[in-house]
Amino acid sequence: MTAEIAIFNKSAVALAADSAVTVGVGEKRAKIYNSANKLFTLSKYAPVGVMVFGAAYYKGVPWEVLVKMFRNKLGNRRCKHLKDYGDKFVKFIEANHTLFPKEEKEGFFYRFLASEYSDIRKAIEEAVKKHIEINKSIDATANSAIVTDCIAKGWDNIKSRFSVGNDFARDDKTLKTHGKIITRAIGMVFEKQEISPGSIQILENIAQVVYNVWGRKNWGAGIVIAGFGEDEIFPAYELFRVNSFTDNQLKHQKGNRISFDNTAIIVPFAQDEMVHVFMDGINPDYREALLQYMHELCSGMPKLISDGLSLPEKEKEVFLEKVRKAFTDTYEKFKENLSHYERRNHSEPIIDMVASLPKDELANMAESLVNLTSFKRKISKDDETVGGPIDVAVISKYDGFIWIKRKHYFHRDLNYPFFSNYFIKDSAKREGKDATQQTCILDD
C-alpha cells in the first residue's frame, strides 16, 4: 500500500507521494523499501504530471520506465485538454505489446498461482507431521485423506476470501488457455503427492479464481494524470486503474476539475483513512461502526418496547409497525445530521480555506497529509507500508511542473551531465520551431 494525495485550487495543483514499496509474491509481503519513485513529469514542456499508486509494475515493467518512454515519445508536443494526455498515454501502453511478452504475462500467473498452492502444501505438511506425532507413522490411505481434506479447506478459504458463491461455474476457456501453466504449478508445488481427480478439479477451480478474481482485487495500480491542457485555465486530473495482470487495458475510472463553482479539491489515493480523519473529523471505520451500532439499536428497540406492553396481539402488531417506522426515521435522521455536521464543521471550512491557498501552502498541506498517514502507520501495529522521503511537486499554468521536494538515488553534485542533458533537443527545435506551439499528435 502507498499514500498519495492531490490538492487543487484555481491557481495550481500540489501532488505528494511517499516512497514505500512492498516487494513480495502474492499476499506474502517480503520486504518494504522506502526508495520508490511514484511522482513524475509527464512532459518536460507542458504543465502536466503523473502519480502512480498501488502496484509498482505493470506486467513486470516498472511504471517509471513506461512513463519516461511515453514522455520521450511525447517530446515537446502539448495537448489542448488534460484528458488528451490520459487518452494518449493509454493508447501508448496498449499499443506497445512488445513491452509485455507472453512469457512474462504467463510468469505472473504462474507465480501467483504457485503462491496460493504453497499455502495448501504447507497445510498438508503440518497435518502429516501432526498425524505422525500422534500415530508414530502414516500410511498411503491416511496421507491421501489429509491431502484431499487440505485441498478442500484451501478451496473453502479461497471462496471465503474472495466472495466466491455456491454458484461458481468452471470456465473451460480459462482452463484450456492456461492448462499447461496450471499443470506445471500443481506439479511443482505438490511434487509427488498423490492427488485424486476430484482434488485436481478443485485445484483447477482455485486457478480460475486466481486468474479471474485474485488479480483484480489485490494487484490494482492507479495512474493519476494531473495538470493543465493548453486550452484550460484551471487544473484537472484523470484517474486510470489497472485491475488485474490479466487485463490488457488501463480503465478510466473517474476525473475531476476545478471550475468557477468547484473551487478546491482534495483527493487522497490508496491509504486514505487519515486524510478522511483530517477532512471529516472522524475515522471512516469508526464512523461505519457508529452507524452500524445505531442501526442495530434502532432495529432492536421496537420489539423490546412492544414486548413490554400488555396489548392484544393485533394492537401490538399495529403499534410495533409504528414504532419501527419511528426508529427507522430516527436512524436516517441521525445519519443525515452526522453527515451534515461533518460537512459544516470540518470538510467545508477546509475546502474554503484550500480555495485561497498560495502555491507553497498547497505543497505544505499535501506533504503534511501524506506525512500524517506515514506517522499513523509508524506508531501502529500494522506494517509501515507508507514511509520514506515524500516527493512534492506543484503544477501551475505558466510556471509548469515545479519540484518542491525530490529525492535522488544519486548525488546531485556528481552527476552534472544528467541535469545538463535533461532537456534533449528534439526535431522541432532543430528545425527552428517554437516547442510551445506544437500540437499533441501521437501515432495511434
- At 24 the pLDDT is 56
Q: Rounded to whole angstroms, what are the CA distances from 189 to 110, 115, 213, 258?
A: 11, 9, 21, 53
Contacts of 49 (CB under 8 A, 6+ apart): 15, 39, 40, 41, 42, 225, 226, 227, 393, 395, 401
Record the cell numbers describing residue 302, joined without a space. Answer: 421496537
Which is it for the CA torsion 294, 299, 301, 304, positive or negative? negative
- At 444 the pLDDT is 42
Domains of the chain by residue range: 3-100+219-263+362-437, 102-217, 284-351
- At 442 the pLDDT is 47
- At 427 the pLDDT is 46
Q: Does pTM top 0.85 for this prediction?
A: no
- At 350 the pLDDT is 96
The answer to whether 399 touches 31, Cβ cutoff 8 Å, is: no
- At 160 the pLDDT is 84
- At 57 the pLDDT is 75
Residue 93's nearest CA partner among 73, 70, 71, 68 is: 70
Residue showing cell 499476499: 27
- At 1 the pLDDT is 54
According to CATH, the topology of domain 3-100+219-263+362-437 is Glutamine Phosphoribosylpyrophosphate, subunit 1, domain 1 (3.60.20)
- At 424 the pLDDT is 58
SS3 66: helix
- At 310 the pLDDT is 81
Residue showing cell 506508531: 379
DSSP letter string over 42-63?
S-SSSSEEEEEEE-SEETTEEH
Distance separating alpha carbons of residues 136 and 140, to the nearest angstrom:
14
- At 27 the pLDDT is 46
Distance separating alpha carbons of residues 375 and 373, to the nearest angstrom:
5
- At 383 the pLDDT is 65
- At 212 the pLDDT is 73
- At 443 the pLDDT is 46
SS3 245: coil
The answer to whether 62 touches 29, Cβ cutoff 8 Å, is: no
- At 218 the pLDDT is 45
SS3 16: strand
- At 102 the pLDDT is 62
Which segments in the chain show pLDDT lower than 50? 25-28, 217-219, 244, 246, 427-439, 441-444
The H-assigned helical ranges of 136-266 are: 140-161, 172-177, 179-190, 197-209, 215-218
What's the CA dihedral at 291, 297, 298, 303 to 10 degrees?
Answer: 160
- How many Cβ atoms sit within 10 Å of the Cβ of residue 339? 13
Distance separating alpha carbons of residues 32 and 36, to the nearest angstrom:
10
